[in-house]
Every structure is written in C-alpha cells, then in structure tokens.
Amino acid sequence: MTTTALRDRPSEAARAAADAADWLAESSPRQRGELLHAVADALDDAAAELIPLADTETALGEARLTGELARTTGQLRLFADVLADGTCLEVTLDAADPAATPPRPDLRRMLVPLGPVAVFAASNFPFAFSVAGGDTASALAAGCPVVLKAHSGHPKLSERTAAIVSAALTHAGAPAGTFSCLAGRGAGRDLVQHPDIRAVGFTGSFDGGRDLFDLTAAREDPIPFYGELGSINPVVVTRRAVAERGPAIAEGLVGSYTLGVGQFCTKPGIVLIPDGAGFEDLVAAALPSAAGGRMLTERIARGFHDGVRDLVVTGTAELLAGSASRVDMTTWRAEPILLAADVADLVQDPDPLLRENFGPACVLVRYRDDDELAAAIDVLPGSLTTAVHAERADIGELAGVVSELRKRSGRLVWNDWPTGVAVTWSQHHGGPWPATTAPHTSVGATAIRRWFRPVCYQDYPDELLPPALRANNPLGLPRRVEGRFVAKSTSDD
C-alpha cells in the first residue's frame, strides 16, 4: 500500500493496521528484528535513487542526506538489536507464596504492544524523522503496525520510501496493513481520531502538534500523544569560558545555530552570556563564515521571516548582525541573523524572546551577575537540550545552575553544542513541555517504551501464557525472577 493508494483514506489504513495488529503482536522479537533488517537493507540498496530525490525536494545536499540515510538504516538495525537483547519487554516473574502476609499469587508481567499507531513525519529530516524514521522503527519493533502521515515538504520522496518499506515488509512475511502511508492535512486529523489508532507520534510545529494533541485528548477513548513541538535549547556561557576560549565558543555557536539553515530541533536559540565580556563581538565576527540556504518549505520560510521581523520591529531584541528582512520569499533562502537583549527584557516579557524561531537566528541575552543568570534561567521553558560552556574553575559555582537546567531539559550538554543527536542505547531526545508532550525519548533504544503497555497475568495456566512468560522460557529472554535478574535463562529456576 503506497501513499497514492491510501491518499486521504485514513479509515482504510487504520482498519488494515488493526487487521495486522494481532500477527505483529504475537510475532517473536527475532521475527520483528528480521522485518527491521529487511527494511534497512532495502533502503540501503535504494540509496542511489533516494538521496538525489531527497535533495531535489529539500535542497539539504547529497553529503548531508547520505549521512542521514545511514543514520536511518542504523536506527532500524539498532531496534533489531534491542529486540535481540530482550530486556525491552521487562519480563518479570514472582512465584506464588502462600506463606507471605498477605498470601502472594503467581504473578507474571511483561510489556505488550499498544496496537496500531499513527506517526507524523517531520520536514527537516526527510529520512531519519520521516517515513522510515525513528518513530516508525521503534513502533514496528514494539509490535505496533504504523500508519504514517507523510510530510508535504517531500511528497515524492515519501511516496517512494513508503513503497520500498511496504515491499520489504511484505517480502519478509509481514501482512498487509503492517505499514501504510497517507498524505493530506485532513487525513492526519481524521487518523488521530480513528478508534483503531492506539497512540500517536508527532514531530513538527507547536501549533500543529498542539491541535492534534487536543484531538487525541478529546476522543471518547483518549490515547497517548508523543509530540515533539518545539525547543529553544538554551545555552549558558560563563565569564571564565569567554576569557579562556571565547573565539572558539563563538565559532562553535555560529556553526551550531546555522547548521542546516537553522532547521534543527536542537538548534541553540537563546544563549545567556556575561555582559561586558565582548562575546557579542566574537559571534558577530564569526558570522560571515556561515552560509545561508534554502529553507525547507514556504511556510517555514515565512514563519522565520515574520518571527525575526517582529522581534526587531517591536524593539524586543536588537539586531547585531544580518538583516531582519534577509529571507527571500521567492526562493525561500534565508541568511544568518544575530540578535541580542538584556536579562531585564527577558524577565519582563519572556514570551517573545522564548518563542522558537525555526531558522538561522540566535538571541544573545546578557546577564551581569549570578542573580541575573538565575532570574533568566527561572523563566526558561522546557527544552530538548540545555548546554553549559564553562571552565573547571566554574564547577563549584554551577551546581545550582545545573540543577535548574535539569528541570528544564532532557539532555544536558557540557562544553559542546546540542545539534546532532547520536542514535545510541543511552540517548535521550525529549524534554519538559513545550518541548514534548511526554517525557519519553524519540531517539535511542528506550524510544520503544512509548508503544508498550504492561500486562500482568495472575495464576494463569502455563499453556495460556504468552511464550515470554512460560515456565520453560522458550524464547530465551532475559527475565527478572523473584527480584533477581536472570540473563537468557531457559527456566524459572
């Protein structure tokens, strides 16, 4: 089932996913791992076709897209490894104990898939957060059929990728409905309200995500909505750091906030800097080395243009470098922009400065002392990341700062920049509202947890238990038995 076949027909896609749900849920971790490997291999084999097609629609460049496709197939294989490891199912067994007070029954618990899920592709990563991206990979790994809502920014790539994924799954033995792809804004709204859809994964704008979030909450049977909605990713720079490494930090900041024309969800959008240390001049001096580029869509280009213009026209921020009108709405090309404000401006009216400007713009906010730094941090919203650039001599003074930043982010970065998200077992890509609607990660091994729910069987006969919970452990899964972790055991003993 390709994008064309199901365009604007979410009911058909959801019903097909529901028909496939039992098969996928009852498949073994090994079987699901084989499906993921099949998709990864098919995408790698199609790289020569997919990468130029992606570049035509996104202008992200073949070098960037080559790396992103490799990341995408790497994600699929990572989740196959997660399944092979088996701990993601959290199989836990407690034998009956009539002598306990109160008497304890036989209890066996594991995580099971939620059922069909809807996934919304993002514009800025046409492979890694799109049709076969992390949400799709983790949901299929969990045993959930996926109905994918393609992004309008790369429709031809989405359709071709969906066809490759569907064919690979079919060839590997998955039933029809395991994966399908839709297009159209109305299709997305209808999809999240369909009774067969049991959860939603979303990466995109705050307004669009909040609208869908509200729809899922208003259902007669509300379902989980795992949305990534926007993040300003604040950075703290200390006075000692500027004195010791100012030019290098400035160059790193420029490289980070202009990377991909500033269209990374982890772009540092606001940087708290020491007043009078000369850091603004260092960043402005480094800015000419950064190139602009075409933005992904007309809507993104318009939003960036209007957001920056409003900050400057209203006097909310001063323009240090670039121009408030440096967005060509004919070509969607944007040039880097550097803005500045004082902590007093931020504290007095936080919302304008804390609104995400998705594009190559950054706001430097000057603080004079520790009290002003604390006041600035106090008004920061939740973000995917926070970063600190400091020296060893600063460590004793930063415990309170780090504690406050931890309340506001899911990943804390030390002397580095948040752009770029390694796909590993330990990675976390999520944060407090409004960065995400739930604290779970969408990148890394534990992204699979979003698509599970726990089920406990009490005193059930062995023959009716799922294989993962049976006495002889036919799947050879690691299990926690009587509170003790047993790796790859074949019995309860």
3-state secondary structure (DSSP) of residue 149: strand
Assess whether 318 and 358 both reside in one domain.
Answer: yes
Do 273 and 213 sit in the same domain of this protein? no
pLDDT digits (tens, 9 = 90+) for 433-463: 999 999 899 999 999 999 999 999 999 999 9
Given a cut of 90, whether residue 118 has pLDDT beyond it is yes
Lowest mean pLDDT among 10-19, 118-127, 308-317, 424-433: 308-317
Question: What's the rounded Cα separation, in Å, for the pair 67 and 474?
Answer: 39
pLDDT of the residue at 8: 56
State whether 123 and 43 are in the same domain.
yes
Residues 192, 49 share a domain: yes
**Do both 107 and 153 map to the same domain?**
yes
Domain hosting residue 336, numbered range = 245-414
pTM above 0.85, yes or no: yes
Query: Are residues 177 and 42 part of one domain?
Result: yes
Residues 173 and 262 in one domain: no
Any domain includes 324:
yes
Q: How many helices (H) and strands (E) does the chain have?
A: 16, 20
CB 353 within 8 A of CB 341: yes
- The pair phi, psi for residue 308, each rounded to 5°, is -70, -45
Do 189 and 90 lie in one domain? The reply is yes
pLDDT (average), residues 377-393: 97
Asked if 68 contacts 78 with a C-beta cutoff of 8 angstroms, the reply is: no
Contact present, 376 and 346 (Cβ < 8 Å): yes
pLDDT score of 287: 95
Active-site positions read 228, 265
Instruction: Say if residue 169 is in the same domain as residue 283.
Output: no
Residue ranges of E strands in 173-250: 179-182, 199-203, 225-228, 235-237
What are the b/e assignments for 180-205, b being 16+ CB within 10 Å? bbbbbeebbebbbbbebbbbbbbbbb
CA-based nearest residue to 212, from 235, 238, 194, 239: 194
CATH number, domain of 271, equals 3.40.309.10
Nearest Cα to Cα of residue 43 among 144, 131, 141? 131
Total domains, the chain: 2
Q: Which of 481, 476, 491 shows the shortest CA–CA distance to 86?
A: 476
CATH code, 175: 3.40.605.10
List b or e across 374-408, with b for residues whose CB sees 16 or more CB atoms inside 10 angstroms. Answer: eebbeebbbbbbbbbbbeeebeeeeeebeebbeeb
Asked whether residue 106 is assigned to any structural domain, the reply reads yes
Q: For residue 32, what are its two tokens?
A: 């699901």
Give burial (CB, 10 Å; 0-12/13-18/19+) of 337.
buried
Among residues 196, 255, 29, 231, the alpha carbon closest in space to that of 124 is found at 231
Torsion angles phi and psi, residue 458, rounded to 5: -115, 120
Query: In the numeric block, which tokens belong to residue 88?
Result: 């993601």
In this structure, are 104 and 161 located in the same domain? yes
pLDDT beyond 60 at 2: no
State the pLDDT confidence band at 224, using cuts at 50, 70 and 90: very high
233: left (phi over 0), alpha (psi -120 to 50) or beta: left
